[in-house]
Structure 1
């Protein structure tokens, strides 16, 4: 198939030494928004979501990191790893706050919208919900999954959970109170990516070479597009809802019109399969992570394309370093979630933490 010329020159973010397998954007905070990445090199990284500038790394995992996320105010991060743990981190200092032991690989993790809970899933076929106000207490275990868990997400103000399996088709909807599966969104192939849109209106799934959009309230299929390549990940544009991005085995990052399915751009840059794509919270750009170990940030708003040889770089560290924040002025005084957190926000942002020397 003849490829369209790249309409965008990406911002290239180096730093990982092995494949990048997951990406997550924080919501917009008073200090901007942030991008966290998970890689098989065992070292998650935090970046400025707009510029791609490296902020720091989270050190502590002893195996590939498969999943990563930030809470809604970007003060804490969570990661799931092949070392049989999920970890909670201080997103300002890089310090490990808690490590939750599992009995097998943790493939997926997600903060609840209210930031009180952490959801994990993986090769144990068990969904676990950890209370972050009482991290030493045993987690609640939801009814056993029918297969190895690939993705997890919260829905409906934390009353529902979505999960998909590595070897089974479909997305399962779980009721949190009963712990039972109440609905299955049917797909032919296993779902490799499942994302709830920023406004909670759509669920975007990728299975095989198909990207589907489901109504998140009645679970009816809204759109389904068969693409010309095997898709590993897809993401819905969060502001105008007019585009979606998809990436997979063909190493390209494809931007499509949501309403018609017509390809808008086909962006060249990666040198290996694209494992994950995510739109930024403002919708003006998207990030992709690849087998080649790089993250690329692509502008998706209409603009004139620069010369392809002028791709800019946002390089990562040459050595390990604990996280540091030079652009973020925040201070965490309480590791537990309290009802006074909103009142303390301004006070927490008075301290600027500089990146220490490696």
Structure 2
């Protein structure tokens, strides 16, 4: 079996706590990272090459996201603001004030709204085409909001330390559904087709039907899990957590396929690339690492070399 050789993306000086890929554009795809050093970074997604750093926050960055075509970015920070950025020039387009730390940001599919949440326990929706407009209060949790995602341009999901996931209808800003968990939720991710929700909570990774919020299956990890991500074609799931390792499971059989210990600290976030060829991880050790989904193939900076014993070795050039 070919050896997994991750690409290490340096540049951050403190823990990396959030990652997000754009969709595939005519210039490839892109990756944004949120770090407690206060400097979110944009990279070429397939290689990890640094493109630029967004300058303007005055505190740890807890969340970062890109719109589909990577023309806009959004970040949430400990300076009580969420910022909207021109991802091409790096300029701040708008700064949305909050009363506490912002830990979740999410663009609507059409890019016209930005969802925010955090230690205020309040979910808000801002108008990105008219930043001066007053935000809409979508709803409230009983605990800190960790993540929020759009199902479509109307319905959203939010996950909180109050051990719940809530579905909201933004047309009337009312709660449509509530699901309780045994542990605080650390991460949620919506599948590429919008039909599957992945939830990281305690030592489990749970799979839900995104429409009905009925649980389909559940994975139990040997450690507390902080993040999980589903392959775009639903082939596999990767997860990371407290024991510094990244685990890969077959989506249907739940069989563990691989586990890697490449970081030197807990893994806070994992995300698959839009083409599914790699996944990225961010860690307490201050690095972003890129991993091949299919080890031993030529992709990006990975080139297949032949070792003296005749076995293929995937090397990062």
Q: Does the CA-based 8 Å contact 1:213-1:223 persist in structure 2? A: yes
Look up the SS of the partner of 1:178 in the other structure: coil
Residue of structure 2 aligned with 1:276, choices 269, 285, 288: 269
1:42-81 → structure 2 map (5 Å cutoff):
42-81=38-77
Answer yes or no: is 1:230 the counterpart of 2:199: no
Distance 2:21 2:112 in 1: 19
1:75-118 deviation digits (Å, cap 9, x = unpaired): 01000000000001111111111111111100100010001011
Residue 45 and residue 250 in structure 1: after superposition, are their counterparts in 2 closer, same or farther (change >3 A)?
Answer: same
Distance 1:37 1:248 in 2: 17
Distance 1:66 1:146 in 2: 20
Unaligned runs of 5+ in 1: 314-358
Distance 2:67 2:190 in 1: 15
- Tell me by how many angstroms 1:127 deviates: 0.9
Aligned to 2:154: 159
- Tell me by how many angstroms 1:143 deviates: 2.6
Residue 310 and residue 12 in structure 1: after superposition, are their counterparts in 2 closer, same or farther (change >3 A)?
Answer: farther
Answer yes or no: is 1:303 the counterpart of 2:296: yes
Look up the SS of the partner of 2:182 in the other structure: strand
Answer yes or no: is 1:255 the counterpart of 2:251: no
Aligned to 2:203: 209
Residue 251 and residue 301 in structure 1: after superposition, are their counterparts in 2 closer, same or farther (change >3 A)?
Answer: same
Aligned to 2:301: none
Aligned to 1:320: none
Distance 2:133 2:201 in 1: 36
Answer yes or no: is 1:101 the counterpart of 2:97: yes
How many positions carry a matched residue from both structures?
306
Between 134-143 and 297-306, report the one with greater CA deviation. Answer: 297-306
1:129-140 → structure 2 map (5 Å cutoff):
129-140=125-136
Stretches (4+) displaced over 3 A: 304-307, 309-313
Residue 15 and residue 302 in structure 1: after superposition, are their counterparts in 2 closer, same or farther (change >3 A)?
Answer: closer
Between 187-196 and 138-147, report the one with greater CA deviation. Answer: 138-147
Distance 1:269 1:237 in 2: 20
Distance 2:295 2:287 in 1: 24
Q: Does the CA-based 8 Å contact 1:280-1:287 persist in structure 2? A: yes
Distance 2:201 2:82 in 1: 26
Give the structure, 1 or 2, with the largest relative contact order (CA under 8 Å, sep 6 or more): 1
Name the Cα RMSD after superposition: 1.9
1:148-227 → structure 2 map (5 Å cutoff):
148-155=144-151, 157-166=152-161, 168-227=162-221
Q: TM-score, normalised by structure 1?
A: 0.82
Unaligned runs of 5+ in 2: 298-303, 308-312
Q: Does the CA-based 8 Å contact 2:295-2:314 persist in structure 1? A: no
Answer yes or no: is 1:89 the counterpart of 2:89: no
